[in-house]
Structure 1
Amino acid sequence: MKYVLKTGGMAVLAMLSILSCKQTVRELNPAVTPVSTLTAPANNASVKLEPSTPASVQFKWEPTQAIEGVLYEVAFDKTDGDFSKPFYKTVSDGLGVQPQLTLSHNDLKKIAALGGIGASSTGSVKWTVLASVAFNRQAGTSTRVLTMTRPAGFTELPDSLYLTGTATEGGDDVTKGIRLKKVEDGIFEVYTSLKGGTYRLTDRLTGTGKSYYIANDTIREGTSRTTLTGPAKTYRLRYDFNVASTQATEIQSIGLFMSAYNKEIGTLTYAGNGTWTAASIPVEFYPFSWGRDERYKFAVHTATGTEYMGSSNVNNNSPAGAPASYFYLQPVSNSQWDNTYKFDPSADLKKVKVDLFLRATAPYSHQVTVLK
């Protein structure tokens, strides 16, 4: 009997719970009025796009009179379009809730391209706001024109890049192409040598990848090749697809700079595959009154001047037991003492072998081996 009463009580409670839940359910009111007032940017505003910067543009409007649950989308169309088939749509900030949309210049570059504005060209698109609740969508009653100037960059940026051709270290076999390091979106660099011959860039080593070539210091898409003449030289090549620009810096040599002497105590020469090496450099720590100083970094001699590479840390301890990251390299200032490494204590009054690795497949780094 007690079991029946207990079960029955539980059933009553469950029914009350269900009825209580049903009382909280109400239908969504789908009524929504169109957005009628756009506030920013101004009509016929002009923007010079700089996609490699963090610059952005905010699109703003007065909220609609929808009761609740409104979703905003900004639609873009050509200036003679009627938004029946906009070429681009995206929800507003806050997953479509806020009456504003923030678009980076890189996003706007893509929108400009979809709207028919070519690289290194100026053109206009039209925009409005769509407001929806459930399946009820209302196009805005107001539109504005935005004029954009695109730089000489690419809309679709490669995610990987390789150098191939008779002028390269890998030769004309594309499967042996030289990989470039991706340093930022659309920006690649490589330390390598080039000789007389031809070369091109590709985003794949196999299959039907896209090809690029250099003409008048500008990156262009196509199967043409760039031709070089003269003896082999070592370079730092840098390609920026955001603005279609290229930079070639000749690396003449790399010196081992010892801080206490304020001079280079040895020279590394290029050995291929992004590697510089010195087989034997005599090392003698500098004798100060407080002890012997062992700090060093690297001087990179280019055709345009001397640059320095060293540690990300301003000051370092002994490398004994240090992780591999201790030896990582990055561009640093010409300060005599800052961003230096320390030799292993056993290197004092010995000779060392030094290898410097500027390869795309791993962090830029170096290795010092004390010779017996």
Structure 2
Amino acid sequence: MHSRVRKTWGADLTSGDDAHFRLWAPDERAVRLILNGAPHAMRALDGGWFEVSGRARAGDRYWFELSDGTRVADPASRAQAEGASGPSVLVDHSAYEWKAASWRGRPWEEAIISELHVGCFTPEGTFRAAARRLPHLAEAGITAIEIMPVAEFPGSRGWGYDGVLPYAPHHVYGTPDDLKALIDAAHGLDMMILLDVVYNHFGPEGNSLPRYASRFFNGDRPTPWGASIAFEEPAVRRFFIENALYWLRDFRFDGLRLDATDQIRDTSEPHFLAVLAREVRETFVDRSVHLVIEDATRRRKLVRRNGDGSIAHFTAGWNDDFHHGLHVVATSEARGFYRPFAKRPWQAMREAMTEGFAASETTEKPARLIGRKARCHRRRG
């Protein structure tokens, strides 16, 4: 059975032979849906939204055609059979039959995490191939896998941090069902599986949003990777909050790791990160779902606990301070990220283990590392 809940962004199958399509394009006066080669006028709604419903099935391919004739992929596309520059593909997320359907997760204190890049983990570089190798990790005592970003990006290989279609698993790695099979296999081995998501920027190539939704970005607040995302816009907030819920609900990931949350800039109240965490907590009350942040500004409030010990917002933080100190001890490298830790690496590690963060007098202030992180991301992308 197809879900009848209409989401804010993207295309959804509403019955066996019908689908609903929505696009936020406030810069456009008209938008057409091109479904299996046939044009369909979309109805303009208040706030810059366009929508249309029609006969469609899973596997059908579609574009959005702008008023100048440019065809663009759905920014909330669930699959791209031909890559980021090709048409979007309708996906039926209810069709997959879960083998580990009773899985409800594991508590965070049981997490022994192995970070995994799908393209590098096996010679094949696919979701299915990775699933076949999971028993080796389970035998080694790994209880959780963190998959590096899989959002669709231009080309065939990359680190994943320059994704442009955040809802679509990268087509070279496999189909959405292939990714579900990997998650299913992990759960069958009593292993959690987390996904690394990038909500702070889009990649420099293949992102069409600026053509028809310039308000999605704020050029006055640049990040190291380009214009920042305008989280004050309600449509933009929904794009990313629904993305988090999508990965956790339709794919049954056990959690998300949010990349570089210090570059998620939001002047509205409550902050986007607080809203995202709250909706996740309220939506998945019957499962152990974990949210992890990477935050160079070391905001303790993001990982604070309530008076009863329950999680207020995020489950845990990525401990860069401990990693960098340990790296200096193990390799003596003192460049880039590691230079601030070269003088007192053992002290930085001790403080990171006892306090969660190294003291500012032990290392440089995080803001001074942003330029180096930008170069790192460009290499990874």
TM-score normalised according to structure 2 size: 0.23
Higher strand share: 1
Superposition TM-score, scaled by structure 1 size? 0.23
- Greater relative CO (CA pairs within 8 A, separation 6+): 2
Larger of the two Rg values belongs to structure: 1
